[in-house]
Amino acid sequence: RTTTTTTQQQRQGQHSSTIYLAIFGCGGLGLSCIMIAQALQNSMRHQREPTTNIPRRLEIVAIDVSAAALQKAKELGATHTILVDRQASSPDVEN
């Protein structure tokens, strides 16, 4: 899917320096993924997009049904959280 998106952006002449990473579930494994993504984000701070020289960014989106789990995800480096309510028709997004 990433390759398809990148190819489409190249065809349209659009280059984005922002990478969005979605973590579905903020249990032990999901929180570990967020910590790894946070380390990756720190290593990307000095990288620039080759064609535009714009600094690269990594946005980490945590998605879960538990507000407490999302709070922990935010503490560990998630830049955005989405609280999914199993009863609601649309999720509650927080930046």
pLDDT tens column, 48-57: 766 666 667 8
Burial of 60 (0-12, 13-18, 19+ CB in 10 A): buried
Which residue type sits at 65? V
Cα 25 from Cα 22, distance rounded (Å): 9
Q: Which two tokens stand for residue 75?
A: 């503490």
**Residue 15: is its pLDDT beyond 70?**
no
Which residue type sits at 89? S
Q: Average pLDDT, stretch 66-72?
A: 96
- Higher-confidence position of 47 and 4: 47
**Residue 95: is its pLDDT beyond 60?**
yes
Prediction pTM value: 0.70
- Strand order of the β-sheet with 18-24 is 18-24, 57-64, 80-83, 92-94
